Amino acid sequence: MTTFKLTLAYDGTDFVGWQRQASGTSIQGLLEDALRELDGRDVTVTGAGRTDAGVHALAQVAACSLERTIDAATVARALNARLPPEVRVLASAQAPEAFHPRFDARGKTYRYRIWNAAVISPFEHRYAWHLSDPLDVRAMAEAARLLEGRHDFAAFQATGSDVKTTVREIGSSCVTSVTPAPSGEASAGRLVMYEVTGDGFLRHMVRTIAGTLVEVGRGRRPAAWAGEVLESRDRGLAGQTAPAAGLFLASVRY
Amino acid sequence: MTTFKLTLAYDGTDFVGWQRQASGTSIQGLLEDALRELDGRDVTVTGAGRTDAGVHALAQVAACSLERTIDAATVARALNARLPPEVRVLASAQAPEAFHPRFDARGKTYRYRIWNAAVISPFEHRYAWHLSDPLDVRAMAEAARLLEGRHDFAAFQATGSDVKTTVREIGSSCVTSVTPAPSGEASAGRLVMYEVTGDGFLRHMVRTIAGTLVEVGRGRRPAAWAGEVLESRDRGLAGQTAPAAGLFLASVRY
């Protein structure tokens, strides 16, 4: 048996998420189906982050063990030949047998994209949350910074979650904005990006933080309110869960 | 009757092209259907460029005349409410009654995108031609410049076309490349872009030029060969018609 570490990118728009479900197409399911063909037996794939339906990945990390003698580059090529273009293996490497993408991860970075303009580009609607009212990016950035450090993030967890601890360490939590190069008079869009790095994330945590930051950006709440929500540990006080389309698992650190 | 100039962006992937066809969904058809609802009568929409199936637009220009008294901003909002997210009205303005998007256009700019890397990103496969063999961008740029000026472009026209003249004036014809910001260790892609501005274009002209430049980029032909193809006026000598997915109508100049 040889264990492989796979680095994957996917457009999550048309999938039920990373994890195999009773119905619908999952990224894990697509990989396991392709690997079964390749290895001639059932293969289990584990991932670093269980991205939800509609969430994308720039560099998700997964692992699988194969019986067949095969080199890492061939695994990547064979998978890409079998997978739909919405899922790509960007890199493949041999890994220690005990390698576990989630338990071994030291940290992850997520990115949340907001398209802030009157009209959303047809090339962005699958990959961003469209908000037409102007956002106060400076206030959002100030609010985002209040979440850095080791905290109990219960207020930003999906209701009904059941985890041992809701304490997580957030290394950086930043909001930036970019005005893309103009492609004609008519493009007056602005991309607002939230990027967060942490040792782990609760279910819906990044999307709930994004929804909370948008409350601040819209001027409905002051930046300091994000700190109050955090301290409250009460999901009822946080902003809405931002749409899945804007969320990207950007990288996993080992 | 009031005439409106509309600036449109669309993701052409799932459409049969700009022009209404006997079957399939066209951009023109979507606009005319939405305007019929808005104006309570049949409305004809004309466009600056008849983009083919799968070709995209960043700023296509179209015109329509409405009987209803309505301001330009409301036309844009009403259309965007009725159109699918793959088609967006970016701007709308009142125009002289005689305004014709195609005949009045002084020039157009097209962009052709090539993703040059072993693996194509799932976020690029709808918007670029994937070529994994390394391209000689400098040679492609040299070949592209040979097409600038007033020439007979018959060699780059789709076979079976029937136009009065195949002479066109190309103001600029440039190849550039960009290495996108790294999003993790695994992204080693390079975007090669061909941008061409001219007073008019023949059917499949930009895609046939792109296919010809790629022959040069792959090292199968020297840069000077592009000039020989041009002079031959023989479609049989040019490169392949590059895939529609990589082509964008970038802007129209009046």
* Mean pLDDT, all residues of chain A: 94
Q: What is the ipTM of this complex?
A: 0.90
- What is the 3 state secondary structure string of A166-188? CEEEEEEEEEEEECCCCCCCCCC
Residue B143 has what pLDDT? 98
CB-based contact A95:A3 (threshold 8 Å): yes
Nearest to B91 by CA among A182, A179, A131: A182
**In the predicted model, is pLDDT for residue B200 greater than 90?**
yes
| Of the partner residues A80, A89, A186, the one whose CB lies closest to the CB of residue B91 | A186
pLDDT band, very low/low/confident/very high, at B185 (cuts 50, 70, 90): very low
Residue A188 has what pLDDT? 64
| B235-253 mean pLDDT | 97
Task: Quote the pTM value.
Answer: 0.92
Nearest to A211 by CA among A233, A226, A199: A226
Q: Give the whole-angstrom CA distance, residue B168 versus residue B190.
A: 31
Torsion of CA A132, A133, A138, A142, to 10 degrees: -100
Q: Give the whole-angstrom CA distance, residue B131 versus residue B154.
A: 26
| Residue B52 among the catalytic residues | yes
Secondary structure class of A211 (helix, strand, coil): helix
B-chain residues near A58 (CB < 8 A): 183-184, 187
Is there a contact between B183 and A250 if contact means CB atoms under 8 Å apart?
A: yes
**In the predicted model, is pLDDT for residue B189 greater than 80?**
no
Angle of helix A225-232 versus helix A137-145 axis, rounded to 10:
40
CB-based contact B12:B57 (threshold 8 Å): yes
Instruction: Label residues A22-39 b or e (16+ Cβ within 10 Å = b).
Output: eeebbbbbbbbbbbeebb
Residue A210 has what pLDDT? 98
A-chain residues near B11 (CB < 8 A): 122-123
* Per-residue pLDDT tens over the stretch A208-246: 999 999 999 999 999 999 999 999 999 999 999 999 999
**In the predicted model, is pLDDT for residue B130 greater than 90?**
yes
Residue B184 has what pLDDT? 44
CB-based contact B207:B242 (threshold 8 Å): yes
Q: Chain A contact for B181, CB < 8 A?
A: no
Q: Chain A contact for B122, CB < 8 A?
A: yes
| Of the partner residues A88, A91, A122, the one whose CB lies closest to the CB of residue B11 | A122
| B71-90 mean pLDDT | 97
**In the predicted model, is pLDDT for residue A185 greater than 50?**
no
**In the predicted model, is pLDDT for residue A66 greater than 90?**
yes
pLDDT band, very low/low/confident/very high, at B161 (cuts 50, 70, 90): confident
Residue of A nearest to B130 (CA): A85
Q: Give the whole-angstrom CA distance, residue B152 versus residue B149.
A: 10
Residue of B nearest to A76 (CA): B119
CB-based contact A44:A64 (threshold 8 Å): yes
* Per-residue pLDDT tens over the stretch B13-58: 999 999 999 999 999 999 999 999 999 999 999 999 999 999 999 9
| A76-97 mean pLDDT | 97
| Of the partner residues A10, A76, A184, the one whose CB lies closest to the CB of residue B122 | A10
Angle of helix B137-145 versus helix B225-232 axis, rounded to 10:
40
Residue A184 has what pLDDT? 44
Residue A182 has what pLDDT? 52
* Per-residue pLDDT tens over the stretch A136-158: 999 999 999 999 999 999 999 99
**In the predicted model, is pLDDT for residue A47 greater than 50?**
yes
CA A126 to chain centre: 14
* Mean pLDDT, all residues of chain B: 94
Secondary structure class of A153 (helix, strand, coil): coil
